Chain A
Amino acid sequence: MPRLLYLCENINFIVPNANIKLEKVEVMLPGCESLPDVIQDISPDLDSYYLVKRLPVVELVKEEFVKEILRKGHFTGISVGTRVDNHTVVAVLPSGHLILSVDKDLYQELGLSGKPSKYTGRNATRFVVEIDLFNANHSNGKKQYNRVLWSLKDRLNLTFNFIFSWEPINEEKVNFMQLTRLWDKYVLEDLSIVSHTIQKTQTTVVPKLSHNQSLVSTPGDGQDVSSIYEYIGTISCDANQVGGPGIYSSSYTCPEPCEEVKGITCQRWSGLISSEKIKQLLKALRSFVKSDAFVPWAALTVHGFDDSPVSWWRKEHGFHKNGCNLYTILILPDDTYWLYMAIGTNDECP
């Protein structure tokens, strides 16, 4: 049975992002009938990411790639079409780590050292191999480098369909030509972030959150942190059933106390989204909520890929029944935030 684990923290400073791959971002604004311009201007759909098909994994460990691309920007990539519970998954993190989640047979054939997965019981059937590409020993001529190259190319020529995004550190020039030169044998396709809007333009009720409200609810209180999170979920899932005490199909209602707003906008962007974009969105939402009196709070939800091999703080991630790894930041006008971290069954508590 899927296990529940989530944390709720009450903070008043911006939290740096955990190291999870970002697949979807949602912004929820009660009190707005459409996305405000200040958010539209930094919308992630202005960015793009890339798909490269049948890329050999060895291309990601070559010294030239590490020097020219990884060290000069934030490169994030993950294999697509692969499932973390029964295929081999490859991911590259901006910190310079290459993560391979492999099954037992492939691990034995590969010949690289790794750790057994925490989520497969006593007889490990999956292993996680982590290669630090920024390590001093990972350079031409060194034994470790030669071994990795030999395993990934000569021993087993692993290839994957891979999506990635790359943001150079120095903004003077985008050296994308360098990447196309290194990978000239492969086709790079430009993909755009897809955007989807859920809007409720009629008057709706939303939970009323008060200044300095404690996370620990008192007995008899209709509203607690989990019911607020459930409310955010109903908007995000575009709930279309009206519930209530006398209604047969659903008894779900908005948690009390609640207030009326003139509408809700929920904007979702799907694709490989960088953590820098999330920080920009967070900053913009923070100032927007403080400035607009009609918006009682805002919620920013970030979903990671279900099949990512790593999740919170580079710890192992497994799928189990749903593979969820997401967090929601609820922004209040008094500069406080509630951070919800929804942790999957096969994940460690951060």
Chain B
Amino acid sequence: MEGEFERIVLKSPQYHYMMVQLDLFGAKANFDSDLFKNLIMKALKGLHGDVGGSISVDIIRFEKKSLKSILRVPSIGLVKVWSALTLYSSHNDKPCHFKVSKVSPHLPSLSVNSRDFTSELLLEKV
């Protein structure tokens, strides 16, 4: 049985996805996903108070070694989360910073990075 052709256009995202990396400037720390999330919530509460603390951030992927992570953030809270991560500068009295490398409302687009891919192509052949 043939179905009808349907086309829908979605313009209002529910979530945005961020690719972030925590840089500890060479210091060693043992992070797991719960501790990483705790750090993000601390950053949010630190800048935006209880309103920031009520934003639910989900960790989709977390790499323990490189401290890279993909976060799912509700779109209404994206600006708060991004600003809180950008301005967070110390962890346990040691300097650190969050590097936000990619932000997109489409999660599949975070799985690839053509700029890194093409620059690797050129590096290999030099």
Residues of B near A12 (CB, < 8 A) are: 2-3
**A80 and chain B: residue at smallest CB distance:** B118
**B117 and chain A: residue at smallest CB distance:** A270
B105 shortest CB reach to chain A, Å: 4
Which chain A residues have a beta carbon within 8 Å of chain B's beta carbons?
1-12, 23-24, 26, 51, 53, 80-81, 83, 161, 163, 189, 191, 212, 214-216, 225-226, 229-230, 232-234, 236-241, 243, 248-252, 268, 270, 301, 303, 305-307, 321-324, 326, 328, 336, 342, 349
Cβ contact within 8 Å between B58 and A252: yes
- A selection of 11 A-B contacts at a CB cut-off of 8 Å is A10-B7, A11-B5, A12-B3, A80-B121, A81-B118, A212-B3, A250-B59, A252-B58, A268-B111, A303-B109, A342-B106
Cβ contact within 8 Å between A4 and B34: no
Residues of A near B75 (CB, < 8 A) are: 4
Q: Per DSSP, are chain B's interface residues mostly helix, strand or loop, or mixed?
A: mixed
Partner of B33, one of A225, A249, A307: A249
Known contacts A241-B60, A241-B61; is-contact A230 B121 (Cβ 8 Å): no
Rank and list the top 5 A-B pairs by shortest CB-CB distance, nearest first.
A233-B107, A4-B13, A324-B109, A4-B105, A249-B33
**A338 and chain B: residue at smallest CB distance:** B6
A95 shortest CB reach to chain B, Å: 22
Known contacts A8-B8, A189-B125, A214-B6; is-contact A321 B58 (Cβ 8 Å): no
Q: Which of B89-126 contact A (CB under 8 A)?
A: 102-115, 117-119, 121-122, 125
Cβ contact within 8 Å between B114 and A306: yes
Cβ contact within 8 Å between A10 and B60: no
Give complex CA distance A94, B105 in Å.
31
Cβ contact within 8 Å between B115 and A237: no
Give complex CA distance A237, B19 in Å.
11
Cβ contact within 8 Å between A53 and B106: no
Cβ contact within 8 Å between B37 and A243: no
Say yes or no for B15: interface residue by CB 8 A criterion. Answer: yes
Q: Tally chain B residues at the interface, Cβ within 8 Å.
A: 52
Which chain B residues have a beta carbon within 8 Å of chain A's beta carbons?
1-17, 33-34, 36-37, 56, 58-62, 70, 72, 75, 78-79, 102-115, 117-119, 121-122, 125
Cβ contact within 8 Å between B3 and A336: yes
Cβ contact within 8 Å between B122 and A81: yes
Known contacts A163-B121, A250-B59, A301-B108; is-contact A6 B37 (Cβ 8 Å): no
Partner of A233, one of B1, B106, B114: B106
Give complex CA distance A23, B115 in Å.
11
Cβ contact within 8 Å between A230 and B59: no
Residues of B near A189 (CB, < 8 A) are: 125
Cβ contact within 8 Å between A212 and B114: no
Known contacts A81-B122, A326-B108, A342-B106; is-contact A23 B117 (Cβ 8 Å): yes
Partner of A303, one of B37, B72, B112: B112
Cβ contact within 8 Å between B105 and A2: yes
B35 shortest CB reach to chain A, Å: 9
16 extra interface residue pairs, beta carbon distance < 8 Å, beyond A161-B122, A236-B108, A241-B62: A5-B9, A8-B8, A8-B10, A9-B5, A10-B5, A80-B122, A225-B10, A226-B13, A233-B106, A236-B107, A241-B60, A250-B58, A252-B72, A303-B108, A326-B108, A336-B3
Give complex CA distance A324, B115 in Å.
12
Partner of A238, one of B1, B61, B103, B125: B61
B81 shortest CB reach to chain A, Å: 12
Cβ contact within 8 Å between A307 and B115: yes
Residues of B near A305 (CB, < 8 A) are: 114, 118
Partner of B111, one of A23, A233, A240: A233
Residues of B near A216 (CB, < 8 A) are: 6, 8
Residues of A near B72 (CB, < 8 A) are: 250, 252
Known contacts A4-B105, A12-B2, A324-B104; is-contact A239 B60 (Cβ 8 Å): yes
Cβ contact within 8 Å between B106 and A326: yes
